[in-house]
Chain A
Amino acid sequence: MSTLLLYRDAAMGILARDWTVFKSYRMQFVGQIVSVFLGLALFYFLSHLVSVTKFGSQSKYFAYVVLGMIMIEVLQSTMTVATGLQSELVAGTFERVLLSPFGAVAAVLSMMIFPFFGACISALITLLIAVLLFGLQIHWTTAPEAIPIALLGTGAFTAFGLLFACSAVIFKQVIGGAGLMLTGIALVSGLYFPIALLPGWLKWFSNVQPFTPTVELLRHTLVQTPLTHSTFLDLAKIVGFVLVFLPLSVLLLSHAMRIGQRRGTIIEY
């Protein structure tokens, strides 16, 4: 049996494990759906309360925010790897992974598969609820183009998730940092309001990370929000980020594991 197949089987083992654990908490899925519905309802009524001239109509602001909410969901899914890793350290199950031929880095990458699929399904459900219950208008002809954009964006977000996994390995601390990161991204990426409203010095942050172009392109393909930059420039930013930061974050994680093992602190929590 080739090594590649052994790695694939091990990764599928982690996916099956995470799915089984998710299923075992029966109210988790229901809770997520209710949470999505409440989030959508909140912004639906907010969009009716405020009049934003930039968007032209209240429904356009609602469409703008729905895509921002989806982005946060996907981003959160990549961050859960770090909290999951910390839980495994506490439960002692990560020790098993470290003592397996599959290894810690491959296992951490595999631990991102289930949350990613979960976020994709959750994003679809969010869109469905928004369309069916809140009257969101989707531009179906360009909607399929959102899939490769979302995949590229996830690749870029994964780099951030892996950096937080490094933090779990070396500093044994994640949750506060991940929360801070998500809030910061929501602020500078225009997830809930256009970045044009930000002061100049904050706009710089909007332009040097992959979240702003990803959400802009997704909005453009799904709800026809006009682009502030060209499609090519936005895509180039995301691809560049994936090509540079994804391998770098994997290398950093590998290095963090080695440091933890050499120090002997790898299984501490």
Chain B
Amino acid sequence: MSDSLLQSETVRPEARAGLESVPAPELGSFSPPSQTPLSAHGLTKVWGSKPGNRVIDGLELTLEAGTLTWIGGSNGVGKTTMLRVLAGLIGPTEGNVHMFGLHPERDRRAYQQRLSFLPATSTGLHARLTVRRQLDYTARIGFVPRERRPAMVEESIKRFSLLELAEHRVDRLSMGQRQRVRLAMTFIKEPDLVLLDEPRNSLDGEGAAMLVAAVHEVVGRGGAVLWCSPLGESLGMRFDRKMVLEHGKLKSH
């Protein structure tokens, strides 16, 4: 971790104390409280059958309501795999994850209704759709009720300064503008838990400020945000907890 780059970032003492005081529950007997935004226990992901491909190894993580957590790590350490497992996109080899007491496979619909995940890639957009259509489509498959959908689409357009680009096709936008669209898609359904994988990609200062405002809005209404980015990236913002993923396990930072 590059300390010099993260000197301006702080960890709220009460949150760090909370992290250290929470005992790891026993596997098997675990029953997550329904108000906990995210709890992962014994999470392990092995690619293929070789033991050396153990990307996540018995990972323990709890995100409390109204908190912003940062997890860093070197390239290829498993941050994206961890986020994909937490998001319910891929299954763990061992262990379990719950969001507000919901299971990603058994309660898939409710799980995905309350969660938003921003993948790190620059893909995931329908190139031939306009920004407004892209957001409307995202809101529809995100089960945003019809009566609220137009207002939420417009709100997202405003929040990420996309008004002038609303009728532009996505494939005609710059990388930074596309990232704003992806952020708008992430926050449009007002999720209770947001998982962000390298969300600052391609963003300018204005875009980064919009991202931070959106993150604080989720935290402010009692949700939780998990922000993952590589070690050394200057973030310049306040986190409740900071951890590093090393050898498949999380360590306080």
Contact = CB atoms under 8 A, between A and B. Distances in A.
A21 B81 CA distance: 31
A91 to B, nearest CB: 6
Contacts of A16: 133, 136-137
A112 to B, nearest CB: 16
A9 B140 contact: yes
Nearest to A92: B123
A17 B87 contact: no
B89 interface: yes
Contacts of A91: 123-127
A174 to B, nearest CB: 20
A1 B108 contact: no
A12 B140 contact: yes
A141 B47 CA distance: 62
A42 interface: no
Interface string B68-95: 0000000000000100100111110000
B169 interface: yes
Interface stretch (A101-109, A146-154, A180-188): A101-109
A98 B84 CA distance: 11
B7 interface: no
A20 interface: yes
Interface in B93-133: 105, 108-110, 112-113, 115-117, 119, 121, 123-129, 133
A24 B88 CA distance: 33
A96 B124 contact: yes
B141 interface: yes
B202 interface: no
Nearest to A12: B140
A92 B113 contact: no
Contact of B146 (A9, A98, A100, A263): A9
A264 interface: yes
Contacts of B140: 9-10, 12-13, 102
Given A17-B129, A24-B169, A91-B123, A101 B112 contact: yes
B250 interface: no
B156 to A, nearest CB: 15
Contact of B126 (A93, A95, A261): A93
Which secondary structure dominates chain A's binding surface? helix
A17 B169 CA distance: 13
B45 interface: yes
A233 interface: no
B236 interface: no
Interface in B154-202: 169, 185
A181 B84 CA distance: 35
B117 A99 contact: yes
A25 B84 CA distance: 34
Contacts of B129: 17, 20-21
A5 interface: yes
B123 A103 contact: no
Contacts of A102: 140-143
Contact of B124 (A9, A13, A95): A95
Given A95-B124, A101-B143, A267 B108 contact: no
Contacts of B36: none
A93 B123 contact: yes
Interface of B: 45, 47, 81, 84, 87-91, 105, 108-110, 112-113, 115-117, 119, 121, 123-129, 133, 136-138, 140-143, 145-147, 149, 169, 185
Given A9-B149, A13-B137, A91-B127, 16 more contacts: A1-B147, A5-B146, A16-B133, A24-B169, A91-B125, A95-B124, A99-B115, A100-B141, A100-B142, A100-B143, A101-B143, A102-B143, A261-B88, A261-B91, A263-B90, A264-B90
